[in-house]
Chain A
Amino acid sequence: MKIHLKIWRQDNANTPGKMVAYDLDNLSPDMSFLEMLDYLNEQLAAKGERTVEFDHDCREGICGQCALIINGQAHGPEDHYTTCQTHLRTFKDGETIFVEPFRAKAFPVLRDLKVDRGSFDRIIQAGGYISAMTGMAPEANSIPIHHNISESAFDSAACIGCGACVATCKNSSAALFTSAKISHLVKLPQGEVERQERVIMMVNQHDDEGFGSCTHTGACAVACPQEVSLDNIARMNYEYNRALCEIDS
């Protein structure tokens, strides 16, 4: 099949970028979207032209490194897919596809389609952990956890930290990302002790990084490759208010 690509090219955060057109032929519908970019890059490299920079690693939807806006949608047209899982069979022969980096104030562009998501690390640093240092742990079965609670904690913990929630959100909010970690840890008995500080510190860090506020549009949950649910955001708000009240009293 044939595809017309319009790809965002930008040298670095301080220089302006622009869309550049590339035409590709002889593609197979079984190719993944990133394999199409490999194919383009091989052609550019053979001609000595600088290749298109994009992030990727596992190519199976779990590392969260791939991050493209495809035709205006984070990770492409299919709900709950990552970019690397998107295949050309989703597109029409001869289609024009626009490819851009994840855009948000807190995700500065490094080059072309690569962005810096260090802000996510700093949100986790603010409190997204249970402080059980190596050597401290009690016997694993000493605290039974109800099957459903454990499964529900998993649903929150499944987040791959790709940033599609931010890229999709009209406010560039990272509420889904932040709340998923808060919920994962607060659902488990092990996370109870640090409950208050965690939510306050993480929410404050979220705001300091320049992410916007959540207005419950819900676009993030549709884009999320792991189907992390909006319930997490409700839980975060509940936890945050509860922590403030408890600190006040």
Chain B
Amino acid sequence: MALDAKTPDGPLKDKWSNYKAKTKLVNPANRKKIDIIVVGAGLSGGGAAASLSEMGYNVKVFFFQDTARRSHSVAAQGGVNAAKNYRNDGDNVYRMFYDTVKGGDFRSRESNVHRMAECSVELIDHMVAQGVPFGREYSGYLSNRSFGGVLVSRTFYARGQTGQQLLLATYQAMMKQVKKGNLKQFNRHEMLDLVMIDGKARGIIARNLVTGEVERHAAHAVVLGTGGFGKIYYLSTLAMNSNGSATWRAHKKGAYFANPSWTQIHPTALPQAGDHQSKLTLMSESLRNDGRIWVPKRKDDDRLPGDIPAEDRDYYLERRYPAFGNLVPRDVASRAAKERMDAGFGVGSMKNAVYLDFKTAIARLGIDTIKERYGNLFTMYRKITGIDAYKEPMKISPAAHFSMGGLWVDYELQTTIPGLFAVGEANFADHGANRLGANSLLQASVDGNFVLPNTIPNYLSDEIRTGAISTDHPEFAKAEKDVIAQVQKLLDIKGTMPVDNIHRRLGKVMFAEVAMSRNEKGLIWAIEEIKSLKKEFWSNVAVPGDSNGPNSELEKAGRLADYLEIAQLMAKDALDRKESCGAHFREEYQTEDGEAVRNDEEFMYSAAWEWTDGSDWKLHKEELDFKDIKVAVRSYK
């Protein structure tokens, strides 16, 4: 199938308004005849569920947590971007579009990015109206901070808990619709398959994680807002139960998966402290506004950080990138940290960290200002490490964080399966090869609240005469049978290797070879390792218990089974792209001083992979065309 992005005609700045003016709509009286399934209750899925049910559609929302208020969007700390230009510092929609396309290293779709920047303005209005207590100036007006990769202050924040506050507003909007009966929620439910009838997405098979029952749910359209799959690295900043299964199973039913290998490695997470470690806590990028990153100039300098004088410190970001300094984009900051650590300058007992130091900022601004800006992050740091970061520098380290890749979607956020839409981190759309900080809460919220409610009617307007979809259709029976068989297969292995053990080893392979820096030899090796882990998994994984009640090991095993396949595609994608762009740094393609070398001649495309029956994938290219921005070498020097 050829890829059609369905980008509307007209000048970039008018595309979205032209689209909205001409798209087909569904009459309010007909909306009650339409059922929509939303999988995911984070900012993207939750926003979609709330907005679509407010419009009058019958919506069902599924998520695996016990309540929608816990979806992983809750963990986002630093902020959300919007082109409000409240600082009068030259910001506008075009500049935000420009920064995002440049930050993504010219590998995103112009029209989508511009739309995200446009919608950012109304998103802040919406969230304030819902009661989000954003940071404010003493004048009572909204405050902003600045984030990596840009020269303006456009980030809105609610202390270090911005994601939590946005998600709670979204959750509350959902709860209101639940009470009104427009929205039905299915908590502790996991989608295990997509049901297709006559080539269209018509429902899902979900497992009730309390009773173990496998259930059929039908709808006229299915929306996936299931988040990122960064937990594939085992150690990551994601929540323990985040997974790639919903999108992956949709992929196996025909949805193309785009740019799977583009994973953002965040430069400021807590370093691993030992083998027992289960996750790496993020320290928000906003800290780089006031914190300075350094390592000792001398290897194995065993003095305490406070005893190392300025002349013996290497502020390597300020040294290498004087224009942006500590605020270079994440991929650049992570790679620079890796370079120092690989060269033997890492600090901490495992030599796997660098310092993030607030001494200068505390001297300049006073400790109270630092407390107000980042208090909860410093508290979090102390709770986890036992160290007071007001007194000594934080130790930080790069960690897997965000999936730029995901299901391929067109301008309407529809996947290659008619009737299947993907929103938020689950799709691949707006961030190109590297996401800018605070753009992802934005994308997730905007997709759910402002984009999808305007694009999905174009599809649904043809469904008003379809009538209710029956779950008695043989396709439901077949999909349900397959799901039950897979669950049983996992239980029947009765091996001795715990799921987490295999997952940890997969994570090690992925972090070593399919993360910050990649090369052909390593990727080929990784593919073989993944295959052998997959073999070991299917012959010796230990999944005790049964499927008639809560069984976390069974849930984890199902997710790992999918990760083992996703990993293979990630490595393949990375191997295939013979250039360095954004987070994808191929060692073979770099300048003498270690900067990335893009190859626009051959690789100016998004790679959308089609599943071809388990043995391999077929590549489809969406060529990227930049009409409104001059394609240039991305430089932060």
Q: Show the binding face of A for B, using Cβ within 8 Å.
A: 11-12, 27-28, 30-32, 34-35, 38-39, 41-42, 44-51, 53, 55-65, 81, 85, 87, 89, 110-112, 114, 116-118, 120-121, 124-126, 128-141, 143-147, 150-151, 153-154, 157-158, 160-161, 184-185, 188, 190-191
* B16 interface hit (Cβ, 8 Å): no
B279 and chain A: residue at smallest CB distance: A59
Specify which of A44, A45, A129, A143 is in contact with B172 (CB 8 Å cutoff): A129
Q: Which stretch, B255-263, B360-368, B494-502, touches the partner chain A?
A: B494-502
Q: Which residues of chain B from 104 to 146 have any CB-CB distance to chain A below 8 Å in the complex?
A: 122, 124-131, 133-142
Q: Is the CB of A146 within 8 A of B179?
A: no
CA distance in complex: A126, B133 (Å):
21
Q: A61-B380, A85-B380, A151-B133 known; 20 other A-B pairs, CB under 8 Å?
A: A12-B549, A30-B274, A48-B496, A50-B551, A53-B551, A57-B65, A57-B70, A57-B240, A58-B239, A118-B67, A121-B178, A130-B130, A130-B131, A134-B126, A136-B129, A137-B125, A137-B128, A140-B142, A147-B137, A188-B131
Most chain B CB within 10 A, of A39, A62, A117, A137, is at A62
A residues within 8 A CB of B544?
Answer: 44-45, 47-51
Contacting A111 at CB < 8 Å: which of B68, B175, B179, B549?
B549
Question: Closest approach, in angstroms, between the C-beta of B358 and any C-beta of chain A?
Answer: 20
| Interface membership of B72, Cβ < 8 A | yes
Known: A58-B239, A130-B172, A137-B125. A191 touches B131 (CB 8 A): yes
User: Considering the chains assembled together, what is the distance between the CA atoms of A59 and B281 in angstroms?
Assistant: 8
> At the interface, yes or no: B54 with Cβ under 8 Å from chain A?
yes
Residues in chain B near residue A144, CB distance under 8 A: 136, 139-141
B409 to chain A minimum Cβ distance, whole angstroms, is 20
Query: Is there a chain A Cβ closer than 8 Å to B278's Cβ?
Result: yes
Report the minimum CB–CB distance from B5 to chain A (whole Å): 25
- Return the chain A residue nearest B165 by Cβ: A157
Determine the distance from Cα of A27 to Cα of B175 in the docked complex, in whole angstroms: 42
- 29 residue pairs A–B, Cβ–Cβ below 8 Å: A12-B549, A27-B276, A31-B276, A34-B278, A38-B278, A41-B552, A42-B498, A42-B500, A47-B544, A60-B282, A62-B75, A65-B70, A81-B383, A85-B383, A87-B384, A112-B550, A125-B179, A132-B126, A133-B54, A137-B128, A137-B129, A138-B129, A140-B84, A144-B140, A147-B136, A150-B133, A154-B158, A157-B131, A158-B164
Q: Is the CB of A45 within 8 A of B553?
A: yes
Please indicate the chain A residues that have their CB under 8 angstroms from the CB of B161 in the complex: 62, 158
A38-B500, A132-B130, A190-B130 known; A63-B125 Cβ under 8 A? no
Chain A residues whose C-beta falls within 8 Å of the C-beta of B131 in the assembled complex: 129-130, 153, 157, 184-185, 188, 190-191
Whether A125 lies near B176 (C-beta < 8 A) is yes
Which residues B546-562 have CB closer than 8 A to chain A?
549-553
B128 touches A140 (CB 8 A): yes
A64 proximity list for chain B (CB < 8 A): 69-70
* Chain A residues closer than 8 Å to B187, beta-carbon distance: 118, 121
Query: Does B23 sit within 8 A of A, measured CB to CB?
Result: no
What secondary structure prevails in chain A residues at the interface with B? loop
Contact, CB under 8 Å: B75 / A60: yes
Contacts of B158 in A (CB 8 A): 154, 157
B51→A56 contact, CB < 8 A: no
**Residue from A39, A61, A128 in contact with B175 in the complex, judged by beta carbons closer than 8 Å:** A128
> Which A residues lie within 8 Å of B501 (CB)?
42
CB of B86 closer than 8 Å to a CB of A = yes
B-side contacts of A61, CB under 8 Å:
380, 383
Contact B84 A48 (CB under 8 A): no
**Chain A residues whose CB sits within 8 angstroms of the CB of B179 once the complex forms:** 125-126
Partner of B75, one of A45, A55, A63: A63
Nearest chain A CB to B414's CB is how many angstroms away?
A: 20
A48 to chain B, nearest CB (A): 5
| Chain B residues whose C-beta falls within 8 Å of the C-beta of A32 in the assembled complex | 278, 384
Question: Which residue in chain A gives the minimum CB-CB distance to B450?
Answer: A134
- Closest A residue to B242 by beta carbon equals A57
Taken together as a complex, chains A and B put the C-alpha atoms of A185 and B130 apart, in Å, by 9
| A58 adjacent to B130 (CB under 8 Å) | no
Contact between chains at A28 and B142 (CB < 8 Å): no
* Most chain A CB inside 10 Å of its own CB: which residue of B273, B543, B544: B544
Are B542's CB and A146's CB within 8 A? no
Given A58-B239, A128-B172, answer yes or no on A28-B274 (Cβ-Cβ < 8 Å): yes
Query: Once the chains bind, are B241 and A190 in contact (CB under 8 Å)?
Result: no
Q: Is the CB of A53 within 8 A of B165?
A: no
The residues of B that contact A151 with a CB separation of less than 8 Å are 133, 136
Query: B159 at the A/B interface (Cβ < 8 Å)?
Result: yes
Tell whether, in the assembled complex, residue A58 and residue B72 are in contact, meaning their CB atoms are under 8 Å apart. yes
**Complex: A38 Cα to B278 Cα, angstroms:** 9
B168 within 8 A of partner (CB): yes
B28 interface residue, CB < 8 Å from A? no
Does B37 count as interface, using CB distance less than 8 angstroms?
no
* A121 in contact with B128 given A38-B500, A141-B141 (CB within 8 Å): no
Q: Measured between alpha carbons, how far is A60 from B72 in the docked complex, in Å?
A: 11
Contacts of B140 in A (CB 8 A): 144-147, 150
- B515 beta carbon closer than 8 Å to chain A: no
| Contact among A137, A140, A161, A188 for B133, CB-based, below 8 A | A188
B248 at the A/B interface (Cβ < 8 Å)? Answer: no
| A26 CB → nearest B CB, Å | 10
Closest CB in chain A relative to B541 CB, distance in Å: 9
User: Is B12 interfacial (CB 8 A cutoff)?
Assistant: no
For B68, list chain A residues within 8 Å (CB).
Answer: 121
**B157 vs chain A, min Cβ distance (A):** 11
